[in-house]
Amino acid sequence: MRRELEQIEIPGEHVARERTWHVVESAFSERQPVPRSSHWPRAAAIAVALAALLAAVASPPGQAVLDEIREVVGVERAQPALFSLPAPGRLLVASDAGVWVVQRDGAKRLLGDYREASWSPFGRFVVAARENELAAVEPDGNVRWTLARRDVRFPRWTGSETDTRVAYVDRTGIRIVAGDGSGDRLLVPRARWPLAWRPGVAFQLAYADRRGRVVLVDAETGRVLWRSRPDGTVVELEWSSNGRRLAARRALAVDDVAVYTWRGALYTGFRVRRGTVTAAATRPGSSARAVAVDGDGQSRLFVTGVPGSLLSGPGAFEDLAWSPEGQWLAVGWPAADQWVFVQDDGKRIRAVSNVSEQFRSRSFPRIEGWCCAP
Amino acid sequence: MRTGRDERAHVRGAQRGSVSDLEALFRAHWQRAFRAAYLVTHDAGAAEDIAQESFLAAIRALDRFDRRRPFGPWLHRIVVNRAIDWTRATRLRSEVELSESLPAPDQPAEAGSEVLAALAALSPEHRAVVVMRYLLELTPGEIAEALGIPRGTVNSRLRRGLDALGDEL
């Protein structure tokens, strides 16, 4: 039996092995080996450290030290609450409590216990997902329609004033439904990766397949318009606002960020020599990009055309979101429990602390989008 | 033939950051991992993904790995469990897919093996037990531990799997 099983021919076995080795070797080279010591001293060290920490917290001077540590991580003089946004528009935020809409004056409304969401093209609606439901919700919380599906992820809305589509992923693959909740259908089976509608063009959807290729498909006909070459794993896709460039942020890849033309040609790509790209966002109205890079535990924020980094600090920067007019950038900074709003030239910075508490969340809230003013 | 001592040395070297030791582990175990995944899933693309993800998971957990344990069974356990999950999920999807969909890219070519065809007639749970016993050469006790099922269940699945294979062949 064993000989029979070992003699079965598997298509592409050799190529698969070398392809896998390339990925595994790349992942390994980015890993930081942990020096090993014997078990006893490590356990003892942990116990001693815990005891010291408990003792420190128990004493008033110790508490002061911890407070000081918290304060040095983050932007000084951060506002204690989100009193207002620095630019017009509304934020969409996902926290443990659900999805929230934040108005420019800082007013917050919890739309429901959804786990992710995105804006409709003109900001009139939000498409939100909870585990087994897709929902179209007005920003005041009024639910327009819902669709029961299993394990819903990546809801994305596109279209014109009169004709819209929502793409999302569930257990079956990528699905499409009209903006009024009708005509739900499967577009790409077995896909569970990021999606991005091409702006300004009728219903072209970019997604990443399980081989790490970026694919552009006509969502109306199902016709594949192009596929990129495979490279690592695509973790995020984003079109420029004019629909001419598509940026793919990747992991374990030759390029950390690859930018494609709308025809599928590789326009440019770059790899960070020491560090990881933790977030990227294309500025509205241009092809400039903001990129957050985490290297050796220190993060830096860069914007195309602006010399040097606009922001740096310990821990990773996440969830970059441009304001609708493209002059301010919102940066999530979990290590500091802050959101930092950075002007496009880096000359002005505003920070808000206690973000998790404000959104009733134990994990750090995600910025899902910064959309147009009502 | 690779000895346990060699393997422990390679694990130790990989834990210290040696690419050549990692490559030795990879070359020693990838083929069986890939083959086991393929025999459970019957999809070369999925098998490649599963073997790759399993090695990446192993790298992430390398610092916590107990060098006194053999590396292969640890890796194969990850592979087979992922392959079963993938097959179950695919079976579920096939029940609910709509007709208006794109063909799946890169369908694997027919392997044309009688054994493969006979295996395809088994459930993924039965396939996994047969593959673990006869390809990966794990004992029923090790299979039971890896899959989190009683040893008696392993034996009954093996028996039923072999009976079905015998009928098909």
Which of B45, B47, B131 is the closest to A211 by Cβ? B45
* Nearest-CB residue to A24 (from B26, B34, B130): B26
Amino acid of residue A72: V
Q: Which two tokens stand for residue A15?
A: 């190529």
**Residue B149 Cα, gap to closest chain A Cα (Å):** 23
Least confident window among A230-234, A299-303, B94-98, B114-118? B94-98
CB B83 within 8 A of CB B40: yes
**CB contact (8 A) between residue B35 and residue A185:** no
Let me know the angle formed at the C-alpha of A367 by A364 and A370, rounded to the nearest 5 degrees: 160
A272 in helix, strand or coil?
coil
Kindly state the average pLDDT of the residues A261-267.
Answer: 85
Residue A190: partners with Cβ closer than 8 Å, 6 or more residues away: A173, A210, B90, B93, B104
Best CA proximity match to A178, nearest among A188, A164, A199: A164
**Per-residue pLDDT tens over the stretch A41-52:** 443 433 434 444
B15 close contact with A: CB closer than 8 A: yes
Name residues 50-109 of chain B within 8 A of A (Cβ): 51-52, 55-56, 59-60, 62-63, 89-90, 92-93, 96-98, 100-102, 104-106, 108-109
The single-letter code of the amino acid at A68 is E
B35:A25 CB<8 A: no
Burial of A80 (0-12, 13-18, 19+ CB in 10 A): exposed
Give the DSSP H or E segment for A279.
Answer: strand A276-282
Cα(A11)–Cα(A143) distance, integer angstroms? 49
Q: How many residues does chain B have?
A: 169
> Which is it for the CA torsion A74, A80, A81, A85, positive or negative?
negative
The kind and range of the H/E element at A227 are strand A224-227
> Does residue A280 contact residue A249 with C-beta atoms inside 8 Å?
yes
Please indicate whether residue A307 or residue A94 has the higher confidence score (pLDDT): A94
- A13 to B39: CB separation less than 8 angstroms, yes or no: no
pLDDT, residue A40, reads: 36
Q: Are the beta carbons of A248 and A283 closer than 8 angstroms?
A: no
Integer-rounded Cα radius of gyration of chain A = 23
Question: Which pLDDT score is estimated for B168?
Answer: 59
Residue A27 in this model has a pLDDT that exceeds 70? yes
In chain B, residues 113-142 whose CB comes closer than 8 Å to chain A: 113, 115-116, 130-131, 134-135, 137
- DSSP annotation of A183: -
Q: What's the mean pLDDT in B27-49?
A: 89
> What would the mean pLDDT of A316-329 be, rounded to a whole number?
93
Comparing C-alpha atoms, which of A176, A172, A170, A185 is closest to residue B91? A172
ipTM value, please give it: 0.82
Does the beta-carbon distance from B38 to A10 stay under 8 Å?
A: yes
